[in-house]
A and B are shown apart, each in its own frame.
Chain A
Amino acid sequence: MTGDGTEKEEESAGPTADSPTKPLLHSTLAAQNLLVSLVLVQLARPDPNPSAATISQTYNLARLLQANTTKLLNTYLSTQGSPFSDPGFSALGLRWAGVPVATFPFLAWRTMGDSERLARNYGAYATFDAFLQLVWDDQDELCPNCSELLAMLGTARARTRGLLANLTSIMAAMGIPTPPATDPLTSEAAGVGAFEKKCRGYVVCREYHGWVDRTVRDFTLLKAKYPA
């Protein structure tokens, strides 16, 4: 539902993606400054990174996920009955404790360091990994004949794990420690009602969709920063 807007932002962010790492190599540079600039670029550019390929790979994976998250969200809503299945349903006010939220102040996001960026991604997907499993369980209980949804949830979780593996690999290559594993579901006490489960699933699918969008943007940035 918010995919279009995100895409636009991503596109507008594209041309500026190079600028933070290469501040002087801007379009207005004069020819005479070219040499100086190249030197500076060389200085500003981090060391050749073995994770560049993985970053690109991760970017592709994120794009792949991005294509599927909208469908996942729609499929999820269509199987939950009214009001979820009502056309145009959106309850942005709905939150679920523990589910990572993708929205973030732009400036903070833009100026975020690589390690933090990667760590936030890692943390979010580690949580989503658990939540997607939880949603799968909920739906298997609530809607055992929703085979398409269950399959999509399973696929989303498998890809999330792939994404996590990639992130781990990139972070290891960059020397960034992976955040300690936490059980994000400790607070998820049993006895959550069916309606709350449906709401939780909705929030998870919605935020997952948002986070994948954010990851695509993150990796667009990283890809530019670490060209293969």
Chain B
Amino acid sequence: MWDNPSLRCLLAITFLHLLSLIYSQETGFPEAPENLKCITHDLNRMICSWDATSSANLGLTYKICYTNSEHFSLVCIETEGKRADIPVTVGSTNIRITTLNASGTSLATETFVLSEENVSLIPLTPQILNLSADFSTYTLYLKWNDSGSVFQYELDASWQIQILRKETLETVALMNYDSKLTGKDSILSWNWTSDIPLECTSYYVKIRCYINEPYFTGRKEWSEWSPIRTVPEKDTKPNSAMVFPQDKVVLVGSNVTFCCLYNEGESIKFMNYGSKSYPLLRLNKWSSAIKVQNVSASISSGTNVWCLLEPDGLEGTVLFVGYAPDTPQNLNCETRTFITITCSWNPGRATALYRQRQTKYILFERISKENVTCKVDELNKEHYCDFPVHANQKIYNFTLGASNPLGQAESSLLIDVNQRVHLETPVKFTVSTNSSTNAHLSWYIPGNFIQIRLLCQIEISNSNSERQLNVSMAGAENSNYRAWVDALHPYATYTFRVRCSASEHFWRWSKWSEEKKLTTLEAPPARGPAIWRERSPVGETLTVFWKPLLLSEANGIILSHEVSCYSREIMLKAHEVPVPLNSTEIKLGGNDCLISVVAKNRAGSSPPSRITSMDLPSDDVKTELAIAAGNGIYISWHSDPNVTCGYTLKWCISSGSEPCNVDWEMFPSNATDAVIKSALFQPGVRYNFSLYGCKHNGYQLLQNITGYMKELPPKVAPNFTVEETSSDSILVKWEDIPVEDCQGFLKGYILYFAKGEKGSSKTSFTDEENKTEKNITDLTKKSLRILDLQGKTSYRLGLRAYTVGGIGPSKDLYVVTKENSVGLIIAILIPVAVAVVLGVVTSILCYQKREWIKETFYPDIPNPENSKALQFQKNICEISKLRQQLLPASSLRPEPCRVPPLLFGNGGNTALKTLEMNPCTPNSVEVVETQSTVLKIEDTEIISPVADSELPEDGSDPETGSHVVVSYCPPIIEEEISSPPIDEPVGSSQVIYIDIQSMYQPQVNPEEEPEINFVTTAGYKPQMQLPINAMKMESHSPTEEDLDKTAGYRPQANTNVWKLDSPDSPISIQSNNENGSFGSPCSINSRQFLIPPKDYEDSPTHNNTGWSFTNFFQNKPND
């Protein structure tokens, strides 16, 4: 019917008309319904409610009419309340509400067109079915019914759960949970874990729902919150204060919140985690908390968390902080008995949890699906667990699970039990023997090894050997195992032990069994002893020596040796020598025989050792030196072709006063050298060896050898003395060092000597730097003369002997050489002789060259009157001036010219007094025979004109030529007048020689004199033209430089001396030197004596720069 389009159209028009009526039918009746609201819980029916005033009329009823969309019929219901339950329809619904009074009269009618959008979908308020709490895990468990049966089809539903806590209902969490409604009622569950213990405060939960029906176009809203539910309290709510959580186990590094609950009347002072106090977080009136971050592993009894309460109370809990179990390491499973398989492992990192909280291990075998709980001690490092061996099961796949409250771990291992056999230690180990070479062994191993073969290792050891013997044997069940050992040495003590393993699949050896000792039985000695014999010097007796047999050769305890003497296979004599004697004497009685020695023990006799008693004569036996080999003595010899049966080297080591022990060693015939070693050899001790050759008919001494095992430096210093000493040599003598002190073959001596006195700090010659050493290698030399020594000097002498082993100690002596008198005398005489010879030579030379000297140093002065030397310089001639002034005419009388005691007077006053004499005194020579007043007058006169008039420049005085008296007046006066220093020609310096020798010289005519003078003047040119002003003591010192400036001749006298004390010098005027002026040449310029008087030699103030013969001698000692 609905398919008819026209009908549809009609209906639509009708609907629109009605819709318009809703809004058009505005009524003024107060009873008219208004504000129609519809909500649905199940999308099937909706509850519509409206507002209407009903105060005036009680008993109002409402008639609601709507079109049933299913049957298209109008459905009307009457209701007293202002709500009605009508079906939810897609699209719009026309609802007409008529208000009726009690009598059924319609008071007002209102028609609503209710569209789907105006319908709200509000799910039914959910109900919490169950709220429970797990206090240990701080978890809340919530259960509720989703009321899915309300909707007949699947729908998405969302749930909102709110967690509140404290009395103040603080929201802790608001969680969403989505579910699907299946059309049937379902119980939904949800849980939530708190961060703080649930005991710490009250928790509340409520829930609401939202249905998401995408095809419903109306409003979809959250349901109402369910009624609030309180978390149920813990059953065992304590009466007293408590700290939560109680005895919790947490991982290292966790963050944990603790709370302290206390009762009314109490208050919390502080709360500690261990020894540290934490800030309190107030949870409610009777509860406070602390938050501890990153907890570290606790001690075995846990970490205490405690709160101190006011007025009095201590409450606490213990937190166990540890680790989850580590993966079991080195899991190893093996069987020892085939009854159980023992698995062992290393637990790895310690969990820090013990007992209840410690790691629990379960060994699970996958093939048999059996498991075993392992009892382990947490305190032990190595853990074990046994699993039973199943018959007919070879392969085992083990998984070891480890778990504790904080986690779990596991390790797996697959084994074939036959390949993992680690047998128990063999026990009941016994060893027995009934022979000298065999032993029987027996031991027991617990376990069932029927299925496998065993491999057992027997260790046989004695003091010097160790060997292992492997024995394979069939396995048995809890059985004794046996073995047999041979090739043992007779009368030897062996230590046995045994260990076993599986033969086919070796896995591990068992531990060694305990050790057992066994001594085998005795057997006859394996060989005869090594023997030697020595004839007495006379040859009557023969001493037979033998060496004890080694333990390995003796095969038992040697009781005695039987020594017998055979001659042509016939035993002449035999006697038994008990142990421990190792030699015996046999009287030969002149017959040689074959000596046989047999060692005997309880088991029997050894094969005999034989040696002939025959000694072959030997001549010219040399003694040679052996070479010390450090650990032995190296001996070599020349091969002797006649030696057919070897060589024997015999020696004897003496210890103390006892007779020496004969020892020997035998070598084959082809041997030519050997290193003899012996524990008895000591370094530095000389040993003597005798080499015997074994020839077909006896032994012959071939060679004596002496040597050392190791040469050492001599033990003592050679005893030496000083035989004689001279001024330059010392004769030293020494004695030989005794052989026992040499400790080696002496190679020579070293003599040291050095200057040194007794008590000097130097302790040995090695410190001495200037020592001299002499090496004396000629050992026959027993004395030495040390030459080239200094006289009267202390010498230190040292003598040391040396060997290859080193230099021995030194003996020191101090010797003082004698005084060398000849040398001293020579030392004095030579210089004296030299001086004399020099003097003589000089004298001779001087004598021979006297003319030259004279000419050079002391030329004749031709005519003092004319001499230019008379041109004295001004200052000197001041005295002359003075004289001129002072002298009265009478005083000018000629006076006998005397040699004045002083050339120019004794000081000024004296000079003044004697001025009369001065003009003629110094240089006048009076010829006695011709002495006359006239001459004197003339002489004076000669002077007078000079004094009155200027002297001619040429210095010649023609008038003097007539005088007998060779006299010249010191030209002082004239010079002052005639020759001012300015006018003095530079080159004309002249020396006036006042020479006594002139007396002896042939008289020269005054006329000739100028010539001579000229010649002299020409030949001599003073190089020093010193102005007279400069002739003061301080003014000038003619140094080398000055001298160099003046080329040519240089006065060779000590000019300084002269300068200082020359009579011309101002100072000298006052001097009292009489001789100073006499016979001394005087230079005009220098005004000094060219040849100084003898007295000046000793002048302490002279400063000699020039060469002087005298100075040469004087200076020498100073040098």
Contact = CB atoms under 8 A, between A and B. Distances in A.
B356 A141 contact: yes
Interface in B368-405: 378-379
B314 A145 contact: no
Contacts of B355: 140-142, 144
A195 B317 contact: yes
For chain B, the bracket of interface size reads 20 to 34
Nearest to A138: B301
B423 interface: no
B1099 interface: no
Nearest to A85: B275
A175 to B, nearest CB: 44
Contact of A194 (B299, B318, B378): B318
A146 interface: yes
Interface string B281-312: 00000000000000000111111111000001
B317 A193 contact: yes
Contacts of A142: 300-302, 318, 354-355
Interface in A47-99: 79-84, 86, 91, 93-94
Nearest to B299: A81
A209 interface: no
Contact of A82 (B246, B247, B304, B313): B304
Contacts of B236: 191
Contacts of B274: 81-82
A144 B300 contact: yes
Interface in B221-280: 236, 243, 246-247, 272, 274-275
B316 interface: yes
A139 B355 CA distance: 11
Contacts of B312: 93
Interface string B309-329: 000111111101000000000
Contact of B303 (A81, A94, A143, A146): A81
A80 B304 contact: yes
Given A83-B306, A86-B275, A191-B236, A91 B314 contact: yes
In this complex, the member of A82, A146, A191 whose beta carbon has the largest number of chain B beta carbons within 10 angstroms is: A82
Interface in A112-170: 139-146
Nearest to B354: A144
Given A86-B275, A140-B355, A193-B247, A80 B301 contact: yes
A82 B272 contact: yes
A84 B246 CA distance: 18
Contacts of A193: 246-247, 317-318
B379 A195 contact: no
A199 B304 CA distance: 11
B379 A198 contact: no
Contacts, number: 78
B247 A194 contact: yes
Contacts of B304: 80-84, 195, 198
A146 B301 contact: yes
Contacts of A82: 272, 274-275, 304
A195 B317 CA distance: 5
Nearest to B302: A194
Contacts of A191: 236
A144 B274 CA distance: 20
B314 A143 contact: no
Contacts of A140: 355
A143 B236 CA distance: 27
A139 to B, nearest CB: 8
For chain A, the bracket of interface size reads 20 to 34
Contacts of B313: 93
A149 B322 CA distance: 23
A199 B272 CA distance: 16
B317 A145 contact: no
Contacts of A198: 301, 304, 316, 318
A136 to B, nearest CB: 13
Contacts of B379: 144-145
Nearest to A139: B301
Contacts of A80: 301, 304
Nearest to B377: A144
Nearest to B306: A83
Contacts of A194: 246-247, 301-302, 317-318, 320
A22 B301 CA distance: 54
A131 B791 CA distance: 110
Given A80-B304, A84-B304, A195 B272 contact: no
Nearest to B316: A195
B914 to A, nearest CB: 127
Contacts of B317: 193-195
B272 A145 contact: no
A121 B303 CA distance: 36
Given A141-B355, A146-B301, A83 B318 contact: no
Contacts of A91: 314
A188 B272 CA distance: 27
A149 to B, nearest CB: 10
B1015 to A, nearest CB: 134
A93 B314 contact: yes
Contacts of A195: 243, 246-247, 304-306, 315-318
Given A83-B272, A142-B302, A146-B301, A94 B378 contact: no
A94 B314 contact: yes
Contacts of A145: 300, 354, 379
Nearest to B311: A93
Contacts of B299: 81, 143
A142 B356 CA distance: 9
Nearest to B320: A194
B314 to A, nearest CB: 5
A170 B457 CA distance: 67
A140 B358 CA distance: 13
Given A82-B275, A193-B246, A193-B247, A146 B318 contact: no
Contacts of A144: 300, 354-355, 378-379
Contacts of B275: 82-83, 86
A191 B300 CA distance: 19
Contacts of B303: 81
A73 to B, nearest CB: 16
A37 to B, nearest CB: 52
Given A141-B356, A144-B355, A145-B379, A81 B314 contact: no
B766 to A, nearest CB: 68
Closest 5 CB pairs of A and B: A194-B318, A82-B275, A195-B316, A143-B301, A142-B301
24 contacts: A83-B275, A84-B304, A93-B312, A141-B355, A142-B301, A142-B318, A142-B354, A143-B299, A143-B300, A143-B301, A144-B300, A144-B379, A193-B318, A194-B317, A195-B246, A195-B306, A195-B315, A195-B316, A195-B317, A195-B318, A198-B301, A198-B304, A198-B316, A198-B318
Interface of B: 236, 243, 246-247, 272, 274-275, 298-306, 312-318, 320, 354-356, 378-379
Given A80-B304, A193-B246, A199-B316, 6 more contacts: A81-B302, A83-B304, A144-B300, A194-B302, A195-B247, A195-B317
